[in-house]
Amino acid sequence: MSSFWCETLLIDGVALVDVRLEVDTAGRIARVRSGVAAEATDIRLGMVVPGLGNAHSHVFHRALRGQTHGEGGDFWSWRERMYRVAAQLDPSKYQDLATAVFAEMLVSGYTAVGEFHYVHHRSDGAPYETEHAMELALASAARSVGIRLVLLDTVYLQGGIGLDLAAEQRAFGDGSAAAWLTRWRSLRSALDGDGLVTLGAALHSVRAVTPDAIREVLDGLPPEIPLHIHLSEQPQENADCLAAYGVTPTGLLYSLGALEPRLSVVHATHLSDDDRTLLGDAGVTVVMCPTTEADLGDGIGPALALATVGSPIALGSDQNAVIDPFLEMRGLEMGERLASQKRGRFAPAELLHAASTAGYAALGLGRHRLQVGDPCDLVEVSTVGVRTIGSAPAQLPLTATAADVLRVIVGGRLAATDGQLVSGERAAALMADALARLGK
């Protein structure tokens, strides 16, 4: 049993003072009391927010940070550079890079991450000698850092609607939905029993998975498994889907019975009114990635409109050109302000909910509201730094950055403090080594 005393704790956007959290041996909250004095054995914290959930990440994209931003072009030209990085990966290099990225996430305030993982095999498509080598590399990286990982193992079967996988995509494919399901079930057994690392699933997109394959995956996955998919990030995807199937990507998913609360759609930038209604009526979570959508010139997604019709909004770091949960919160709100020319579209409490509670729910990690039975995942934020001094506690999502994160607790255990892991390792040093192995 461990215990934490928080000078101020934001729960559901409300600032409670003098809060004591008792934690059981499983790392879950056993008791919550507010308005009480600290006890001698408590770990004392200042301003605390719930642990933040990164609902969409591609760790290997981090290798492109600072390499592609000044080139012009669009998403499709950026993608060609991304393929070149993927071709350099092997299990050892992947683990080193993931360790560095997960470390940066943790010290920035992310306590959980959903890794949308599709680099399964060698660059020519051949399997590694060690079964699940790439997936186990990610799991080992997360365990070494101490961050929760939901491995969203991804189906990727074609290079575009009606197209075979291109040479640079062969590492992603399993040949068929049946083969992917067989590998997924085996991977689930290999990861079973680890509370820090769990297995989810993803369909890359309607471009990369045929309707028949989507249906087969839906039928083959257990109903409790969280399922994610990229959706309508680019207008070209909509045009291709309409040409091939006569419906939008959202309409296609609806026709296949895929729209349900366990589904999370990523980006959802270019939607029709009917698309938004279908997603909201089904309670599908929409994962917005504001820093990536801005960097790649995707556009501003209709987050507020989606939330209004019933879709929970979660947040992700996607390409990891920026790893800062506070900037994702800020980006969500500022995109709405720019589009509407009005302020205060999302309340600060709603932004924090998207970054924490909704992210955990999208990853299948259950309730995360700092109540009894919830995981004790916490982030201590400085309120005396140049960015946050004078800020009302509830408005920290609009003033703080990752640089203001002091201590991070995962499962009732201190995982990071003052920008470094409890082991003493720093994310920058880990990243320098990982990039050197990739020739960066």
In a domain, 203, yes or no: yes
What's the rounded mean pLDDT across residues 373-384? 98
In whole angstroms, give the CA distance from residue 2 to residue 8: 18
Residue 77 clears pLDDT 90, i.e. is over it: no
What pLDDT band is residue 194 in, cutting at 50, 70 and 90? Answer: confident
In a domain, 323, yes or no: yes
Give the per-residue pLDDT at 192: 79
Residue type, 285: T
φ, ψ dihedrals at 348, nearest 5°: -55, -35
Give the per-residue pLDDT at 274: 98
- Residues 209, 338, single domain; the answer is yes
Question: Mean pLDDT over all residues of the chain?
Answer: 96
Residue 40 clears pLDDT 80, i.e. is over it: yes
Residue 1 clears pLDDT 90, i.e. is over it: no
Domain count along the chain: 2
Specify the CATH number for the domain of residue 14: 2.30.40.10
Residues 6+ apart with CB under 8 A from 239: none
What's the rounded mean pLDDT across residues 202-228? 98
In a domain, 432, yes or no: no
- Residues 39, 136, single domain; the answer is no
Per residue in 285-327, pLDDT tens? 999 999 999 999 999 999 999 999 999 999 999 999 999 999 9
What's the rounded mean pLDDT across residues 408-420? 97
In a domain, 391, yes or no: yes
For 30, the domain range is 2-49+374-427
- Residues 8, 91, single domain; the answer is no
In a domain, 299, yes or no: yes
Pick the last residue of a domain from 335, 363, 391.
363
Residue in the structure block whose two tokens are 């109540």: 371
In whole angstroms, give the CA distance from residue 407 to residue 415: 8
- Residues 339, 204, single domain; the answer is yes
- Residues 7, 144, single domain; the answer is no
Per residue in 102-132, pLDDT tens? 999 999 999 999 999 999 999 999 999 999 9
What's the rounded mean pLDDT across residues 40-56? 98
What pLDDT band is residue 79 in, cutting at 50, 70 and 90? Answer: confident
The answer to whether the beta carbons of residues 228 and 248 sit under 8 Å apart is no
Residues 6+ apart with CB under 8 A from 277: 309
How far does CA 340 lie from the centroid of its chain? 27
Give the per-residue pLDDT at 440: 76
Pick the last residue of a domain from 343, 363, 383.
363
What's the rounded mean pLDDT across residues 39-61? 97
- Residues 247, 391, single domain; the answer is no
Catalytic residues: 267, 318
- Residues 185, 137, single domain; the answer is yes
In a domain, 437, yes or no: no
In a domain, 434, yes or no: no
- Residues 9, 99, single domain; the answer is no
Give the per-residue pLDDT at 70: 81
- In this prediction, what percent of the chain has a pLDDT beyond 70? 100
- Residues 67, 179, single domain; the answer is yes
- Residues 95, 127, single domain; the answer is yes
In whole angstroms, give the CA distance from residue 282 to residue 166: 34
What pLDDT band is residue 284 in, cutting at 50, 70 and 90? Answer: very high
What's the rounded mean pLDDT across residues 351-364? 98
Residues 6+ apart with CB under 8 A from 171: 86, 87, 89, 119, 120, 121, 122, 123, 124, 125
Residue 71 clears pLDDT 80, i.e. is over it: no
Specify the CATH number for the domain of residue 84: 3.20.20.140
Residues 6+ apart with CB under 8 A from 108: 323, 324, 325, 402, 405
- Residues 91, 217, single domain; the answer is yes
- Residues 105, 177, single domain; the answer is yes
Pick the last residue of a domain from 311, 337, 363.
363
The answer to whether the beta carbons of residues 420 and 146 sit under 8 Å apart is no
In a domain, 368, yes or no: no
